[in-house]
Amino acid sequence: MSSSSQRKDPLPAFNFVVKLGQSAAGSFTECSGLDVSMKTQDFQEGGLNDRVHKLPGPSTQANLTLKRGVVDGQLWNWYLNLLSGNVDRRQVTLEVRGEDQSSAMVVNFYSAYPVKWSGPSLSGKDSQLAVETLELAHFGFDISGARMGA
């Protein structure tokens, strides 16, 4: 059987690795914001009353949101640097792995920097992990080499 006719199963959503710059940033429990959309502009052509043309406009990318159990102050310190006026832009790499742990999809977010940090919600009634959230703005992304954005 040729490789093009082999069955390809969807990727599992739980098997991913995130790197902030050149180093792994620990284990994240959630990653969201892999989203790009294009706005449209309506154009009413003179004398044409049965429809409005929809022209492509600018595209926008959502912020990337990362969640993980609190293990150290690495994410807070990155955000704290921004508050002190030091915008530390980093390439953020999201690697989605297949069931055999091989790299199946790589997403690179360019010039990312933190715009929001949320600390954990704490409760003496629960046995949940303390989870911190970091939201990152970026200047576009590519998926396995197909560049999106600026």
Percent of the chain with pLDDT over 70: 91
Q: Please compute the mean of the pLDDT values over residues 132-146 and round it to a whole number.
A: 87
pLDDT at 1: 47
149 burial level (CB within 10 Å; 0-12, 13-18, 19+): middle
Report the C-alpha gap between 89 and 21 in whole angstroms: 9
Residues 6+ apart with CB under 8 A from 69: 27, 29, 129, 130, 131, 132
- Within 10 angstroms of residue 33's Cβ, the number of other Cβ atoms is 17
Helix (H) / strand (E) containing 81: helix 74-83
Q: Which domains does the chain have, with CATH numbers?
A: 12-35+56-148 (2.30.110.20)
Question: What's the pLDDT score for residue 139?
Answer: 94
- pLDDT (tens digit per residue) in 90-129: 999 998 888 888 888 899 999 999 999 999 888 888 888 8
The string of pLDDT tens digits covering residues 9-53 is: 777 788 888 998 877 776 789 999 999 999 999 999 988 889 999
